[in-house]
Structure 1
Amino acid sequence: MDASSLAAALTPAVPFFATGKRSRDLARERGLSEAELLAEHDGPEVVRLRPEMAAIVEALPSLGEVMSLTRNEAAVHEIVGTFGEISLSGHMGLVLNPPLDLRLLLKHWHHAFAVELPDEKGPRRSLQIFDAAGEAVIKIHLRPASDVAAFETLRERFADPAPQPLAVVAYPVEELTGTADAEAFRREFAAMRDVHEFFPMLRRHGLDRRGSLDLMDEAHVRRLGQGAATALLNAASEQALPIMCFVGSRGCIQIFTGKVKTIKAMGPWINVLDPGFDLHLREDLVAEAFEVRKPSKDGDLTTVELYDSERRLIAQFYGERRRDHPEEDAWRQLTAGIAGG
């Protein structure tokens, strides 16, 4: 071994949090998942937790005010709030404690970590949950008003004393097969009374969400042009019109409801930068956008849906509405005003 090789071998490795890079980006550079990057860290900053996911969820209210972050490749959705009003049933979970509004798919919650990283402004603490492939499901970041003692208690309670090597498994590509009978699908779709009937309907017909749009008629779907998200957010801000914004990972769907105010473009990102809610959306990764009208007992409900180049849903937007009431005309007019593609 020459002198330079010896020096390199003796030089301590720079911990992931001291590289100046985001964990997601650093993991990708190293050919790892983000969960693997955390698991390989040898130090007190990262504590592997036992995957007792339901119990971990039920312990979250003790943290007080936190920032809940759910993301996919093209969108990052951040809401400040307190966990509460939690309902768990099998692998499904619901958090309805405004402004926090989450749908939890616990069958995809496989790996959990408590993370406490040094920072010149004080320690940055978070709980981070990952799916079987090692991709982030949800990250819960403590804030100045959070209960640090509750975080330490949770970390100690769930710490895995002898964690096994973390193994990640790629999710298989789902192959949907079905009748592909457009007329049968359209009839059933037109008779829909509740938007929650839509997903089971897709399964019956062997369709995914994006594939269903190819079968809808012009009365129910319209392709939108580039910049649809920017147009929607700017119009909603200018009109002070309350909206709902859904962004999901494989194991969590996070929903914001309310008015958006500060809309800023930064490079390829269009951002909502408001107190209590941030949205960061890569418009260059939006391959397709659609205005979709779903039948319900209260009349058609209009969504704007964004998809990536692999036909995966990035984000969905609704107009805010009261339960059992039609949607607001102002929302329909807003979506109708977005240029077609």
Structure 2
Amino acid sequence: MTDHSPAELRRLQAEDEGRPFDLAHKLGVPEAALVAARVGHGVLRIDAVPGQLIPAVQALGEVMALTRNRSCVIEKIGTYNDFHDGEHAAMTVDEEIDMRMFPRHWVHGFAVEAESAQGIRRSIQVFDAAGDAIHKVHLRPGSDLSAWQALTRDLALQDQSDHATFEPRAPVEPPRAQPERLDTLLREWAAMTDTHQFNTLIRRLKMNRLGAYRIAGAPWVRPLAVEAVPALLQRVHDDHCGVMMFVGNQGCIEIHSGHFQNLRPMGPWLNVMDPRFNLHLRGDHVAEVWAVEKPTRRGPAISVEAFDAEGALIFQCFGLRPEKGGDAAQWAGLVAGLPAMAEAAE
């Protein structure tokens, strides 16, 4: 990691007009180091624990919620409602801002104020122990500034140093399979009654998601061509198909439930630019795509899941549940029509 003083990081940020994520990568520092360097210069260290932070964020009213991984960014406008806290997992359950949070990764929290041509931009930014972004909340014109003032007063930490230390970033776990346990995997996969049982199953068998997909085969998984990803976005848009799009990282998963109205590909980026929902996906990062089926009490849960070259999950897309206005048969037909890996090779 390149060694830069906080003053130098502040200067470099002032000179750079790009995204902090890109500048951090160029400098060889965690993104959180750029934010921490500005403590005392428009940035305040705050309590990052979701049980403390999210109720204060809810009081802000309408905001924009942003979650990203290396290959995909999801942005949703709404209010943080119906918060459920938990030691290992927490959630907000709302039509617009629907999130799953894993508190142990919410390590570094900052309240940020930055000058812009449109005035002061305010945000909450949370990072993990390695300094990678977990979740960000951007205030909007209608956000409650008195609630912002209360948040910065009540959640400010005693430590307001502009120096920060970070742990090494954990490497992406490569695909992990146990072919000798394939019969058990398939037998218990067929017996599932809820999609959440899958994670428990593969952990017990000492596999991970991608490793299990690679050995499971029909009828539960089908390898798709990487071209299936832009095709998926286009067909969801064209067919006005309701979906649930899951984008996240180790500390937060954000979910869009609804449709795609405006597709705007730009270079390697595949973008959905809707009034209250944006998705920015690096199509060139997609290395593997799988159509996956898991049995549940309510019928099969069918998903399209994309991974990068290291095996990191980029996104999962499910059909919107019928009780939310989705059409299970439409979604199943859409996924069945996506190009398979073998088709692309021919």
Same fold (TM over 0.5): yes
Given that 2:49 and 2:107 are in contact with CA atoms closer than 8 Å, whether structure 1 keeps it comes out as no
Given that 2:45 and 2:159 are in contact with CA atoms closer than 8 Å, whether structure 1 keeps it comes out as no
Given that 2:39 and 2:160 are in contact with CA atoms closer than 8 Å, whether structure 1 keeps it comes out as no
Query: For residues 262 and 87 of structure 1, what CA distance do their matches in structure 2 show?
Result: 32
* Secondary structure in structure 2 of the residue aligned to 1:123: strand
- What is the number of equivalent residue pairs in this alignment? 332
* One-letter amino acid of the counterpart of residue 102, structure 1: M
Match in the other structure for 1:7: none
Given that 2:65 and 2:138 are in contact with CA atoms closer than 8 Å, whether structure 1 keeps it comes out as yes
Match in the other structure for 2:55: 58
Offset, 1:334 = 0.5
* One-letter amino acid of the counterpart of residue 262, structure 2: T
Aligned pair in 2 of structure 1 residues 324, 294: CA closer, same or farther (>3 Å)? farther
Structure 1 gap ranges (5+): 1-9
Given that 2:177 and 2:211 are in contact with CA atoms closer than 8 Å, whether structure 1 keeps it comes out as no
Offset, 1:12 = 11
Given that 1:180 and 1:205 are in contact with CA atoms closer than 8 Å, whether structure 2 keeps it comes out as no
Given that 1:202 and 1:212 are in contact with CA atoms closer than 8 Å, whether structure 2 keeps it comes out as yes
Offset, 1:13 = 6.1
Match in the other structure for 2:318: 318
Task: Note if 1:279 corresponds to 2:279.
Answer: yes
User: Which of the residues 152, 157, 165 maps onto 2:154?
Assistant: 157
Given that 2:248 and 2:314 are in contact with CA atoms closer than 8 Å, whether structure 1 keeps it comes out as yes
**Larger-Rg structure:** 1
1:5-24 superposed matches below 5 A: 14=11, 16-24=13-21
Given that 1:92 and 1:104 are in contact with CA atoms closer than 8 Å, whether structure 2 keeps it comes out as yes
Match in the other structure for 2:73: 76
Query: For residues 106 and 272 of structure 1, what CA distance do their matches in structure 2 show?
Result: 29
Query: For residues 37 and 311 of structure 2, what CA distance do their matches in structure 1 show?
Result: 33
Offset, 1:322 = 3.1
Query: For residues 323 and 263 of structure 1, what CA distance do their matches in structure 2 show?
Result: 26
Deviation string, structure 1 residues 312-340 (Cα, Å, up to 9, x no partner): 11000011013699961110110111111
1:234-313 superposed matches below 5 A: 234-313=234-313
Aligned pair in 2 of structure 1 residues 292, 52: CA closer, same or farther (>3 Å)? closer
Deviation string, structure 1 residues 249-291 (Cα, Å, up to 9, x no partner): 1100000000111111100011101010000000100001111
Aligned pair in 2 of structure 1 residues 300, 280: CA closer, same or farther (>3 Å)? same
Given that 2:241 and 2:327 are in contact with CA atoms closer than 8 Å, whether structure 1 keeps it comes out as no
Offset, 1:293 = 1.0
User: Which of the residues 46, 50, 55 maps onto 1:49?
Assistant: 46
Aligned pair in 2 of structure 1 residues 182, 108: CA closer, same or farther (>3 Å)? same
Match in the other structure for 1:3: none
Residue range with higher mean Cα deviation, 10-19 or 253-262: 10-19
* One-letter amino acid of the counterpart of residue 321, structure 1: R
Deviation string, structure 1 residues 86-117 (Cα, Å, up to 9, x no partner): 00021310100221110000110000000010
Match in the other structure for 2:3: none
Match in the other structure for 2:130: 133
Given that 1:243 and 1:257 are in contact with CA atoms closer than 8 Å, whether structure 2 keeps it comes out as yes
Match in the other structure for 1:214: 214
1:168-207 superposed matches below 5 A: 168-173=166-171, 180-207=180-207
Match in the other structure for 2:232: 232
Deviation string, structure 1 residues 57-99 (Cα, Å, up to 9, x no partner): 1211111000000000000000001011000021310100221
Given that 1:298 and 1:324 are in contact with CA atoms closer than 8 Å, whether structure 2 keeps it comes out as no
Query: For residues 241 and 9 of structure 2, what CA distance do their matches in structure 1 show?
Result: 54
Offset, 1:177 = 8.3
Aligned pair in 2 of structure 1 residues 325, 299: CA closer, same or farther (>3 Å)? farther
* One-letter amino acid of the counterpart of residue 225, structure 1: A
Given that 1:257 and 1:320 are in contact with CA atoms closer than 8 Å, whether structure 2 keeps it comes out as yes
Aligned pair in 2 of structure 1 residues 158, 203: CA closer, same or farther (>3 Å)? same
Offset, 1:297 = 2.0
Query: For residues 12 and 188 of structure 1, what CA distance do their matches in structure 2 show?
Result: 52
Aligned pair in 2 of structure 1 residues 227, 11: CA closer, same or farther (>3 Å)? closer
* Secondary structure in structure 2 of the residue aligned to 1:137: strand
Match in the other structure for 1:123: 120
Offset, 1:232 = 0.9
Match in the other structure for 2:338: 338
Structure 2 gap ranges (5+): 1-6, 342-346
Given that 2:224 and 2:340 are in contact with CA atoms closer than 8 Å, whether structure 1 keeps it comes out as yes
Offset, 1:162 = 2.6
Runs of 4+ off more than 4 Å: 10-13, 173-180, 323-327
Residue range with higher mean Cα deviation, 43-52 or 103-112: 43-52
Given that 2:242 and 2:258 are in contact with CA atoms closer than 8 Å, whether structure 1 keeps it comes out as yes
Given that 1:94 and 1:103 are in contact with CA atoms closer than 8 Å, whether structure 2 keeps it comes out as yes
**Superposition RMSD in Å:** 2.3
* Secondary structure in structure 2 of the residue aligned to 1:215: helix
* Secondary structure in structure 2 of the residue aligned to 1:160: coil
Percent identity reads 36
Query: For residues 153 and 325 of structure 1, what CA distance do their matches in structure 2 show?
Result: 38
Match in the other structure for 2:164: 166
Normalized against structure 2, the TM-score is what?
0.90
